[in-house]
């Protein structure tokens, strides 16, 4: 049976209004038990709740902020900022070349959590002054902490509480890290369709590569780097829930988008591949993107190069 992530069960938000919804502890415990995960059920049973059995939202927020703060080390150690810029630098070069108008362009990080990526991009100015940086998250506590950190660091970026696809201003490029595996079944294609239906020119979403070694790698990393049992648990479950290359390429093949995968499984050493991105670009951008990438463009493949992906 598919394992569940505790953090998905202990907070609930109306995806349109962003309003926090009450979560009954017994319900979360029941779902985890039914999935065969007694250890996770025990972790949730130990969380504070009020006399009606509703989880204490402030305690849940504190817990998730501390788990995400530990999780930020994963982004630091995997050099997520540099990896994103390796692709987004050439992507924005292609956009500047073809758009016919000067910026500003807007990068939106969907499900930014504590906003590590957006803050790193702002601190390094790696994409250039014509790229506005925005992080969006449905979780008010996480995105609130992202804003607080950005102000403390004096960074030129913005954090918004809400649904990344309901923003008043359109994104030029959508990005994310560690978000894709949360979308299952038809919700994954819907995630890509929402971006294709917007005026955005491209997206680039990083998530855990579904290699046989991913769950072991995640266990070692989370054991070494995270203290709270919730963080350790969810880290391993998310690696198990990682989408295959084929699933991502099929789901990202939505009208108006050319789906591409960077460093697909099989083309790279499984010991080195941890998070890899699925990209979608408006078709006219593919050739200039490949030119701007230079030799690295060989690692960018479409569904036609990944025979098993399209079956």
CA distance 155 to 153: 6
Q: Rule CB under 6 A: is residue 172 a binding residue for ligand SAM?
A: no
Interface with ligand SAM (CB under 6 A), residue from 10, 25, 40, 68: 68
Is residue 239 near ligand SAM by the rule CB under 6 A? no
Q: How far is the CB of 236 from ligand SAM (least distance, A)?
A: 14
What is the secondary structure of 148-166 as a DSSP string? Answer: HHHHHTT-S-EEEES-GGG
Closer Cβ to ligand SAM, 145 or 245, answer by number: 145
**Comparison of 182 and 299: residue with beta carbon closer to ligand SAM:** 182
Which of 110, 131, 134, 237 contacts ligand SAM by CB under 6 A?
A: 110
Q: How remote is the C-alpha of 112 from its chain's centroid?
A: 7
Q: How far is the CB of 87 from ligand SAM (least distance, A)?
A: 16
Query: Does the footprint of ligand SAM cover residue 177 (CB under 6 A)?
Result: yes
**Is 235 one of the binding residues for ligand SAM (CB under 6 A)?**
no
Q: Do the Cβ atoms of 228 and 70 come closer than 8 Å?
A: yes
Show the tokens assigned to 217: 């790698």
CA distance 261 to 269: 16
- Convert residues 282-301 into a mask of x (bound to ligand SAM by CB under 6 A) and - (unbound): --------------------
Q: Which residue of 165, 192, 203, 221 would you call a contact of ligand SAM, by CB under 6 A?
A: 165
Question: Cβ distance 254 to 192 under 8 Å?
Answer: yes
Q: Give the distance, in angstroms, between the CA of residue 72 and the centroid of all CA atoms in the same chain.
A: 13
Q: Judged by CB, which is closer to ligand SAM: 195, or 288?
A: 195
Contact 245, 12 (CB under 8 A): no
CB of 81 vs ligand SAM, minimal distance in Å:
12
Which of 92, 159, 167 lies closest to 127, judged by CA?
A: 92
- Token digits for 310? 């399209």
Q: Which positions lie near ligand SAM, rule CB under 6 A?
A: 68, 71, 110-113, 136-139, 142, 163-165, 176-179, 182
């Amino acid at each position: 049976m598919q394992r569940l992530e505790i953090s998905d069960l202990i907070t609930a938000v109306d995806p349109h209004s962003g309003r926090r919804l009450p979560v009954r502890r017994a319900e979360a415990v029941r779902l985890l038990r039914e999935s065969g995960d007694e250890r996770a059920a025990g972790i949730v049973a130990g969380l504070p709740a009020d006399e009606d059995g509703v989880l204490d939202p402030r305690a849940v927020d504190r817990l998730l902020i501390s788990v995400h703060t530990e999780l930020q080390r994963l982004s630091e150690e995997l050099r997520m900022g540099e990896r994103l810029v390796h692709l987004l630098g050439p992507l924005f070069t292609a956009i500047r070349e073809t758009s016919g108008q000067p910026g500003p362009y807007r990068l939106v990080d969907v499900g930014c959590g504590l906003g590590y990526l957006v803050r790193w991009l702002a601190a390094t100015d790696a994409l250039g002054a014509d790229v506005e940086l925005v992080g969006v998250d449905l979780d008010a506590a996480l995105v609130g902490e992202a804003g607080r950190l950005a102000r403390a660091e004096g960074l030129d970026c913005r954090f918004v509480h809400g649904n990344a696809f309901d923003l008043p201003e359109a994104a030029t490029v959508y990005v994310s890290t560690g978000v894709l595996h949360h979308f299952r079944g038809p919700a994954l294609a819907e995630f890509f369709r929402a971006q294709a239906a917007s005026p955005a020119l491209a997206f680039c979403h990083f998530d855990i590569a579904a290699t046989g070694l991913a769950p072991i790698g995640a266990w070692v990393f989370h054991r070494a780097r995270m203290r709270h049992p919730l963080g350790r648990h969810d880290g391993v479950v998310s690696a198990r829930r990682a989408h295959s290359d084929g699933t991502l390429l099929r789901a990202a093949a939505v009208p108006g988008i050319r789906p591409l995968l960077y460093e697909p499984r099989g083309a790279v050493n499984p010991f080195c591949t941890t998070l890899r991105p699925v990209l979608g670009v408006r078709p006219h951008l593919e050739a200039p993107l490949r030119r701007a990438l230079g030799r690295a463009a060989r690692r960018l493949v479409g569904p036609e190069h990944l025979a098993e992906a399209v079956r």
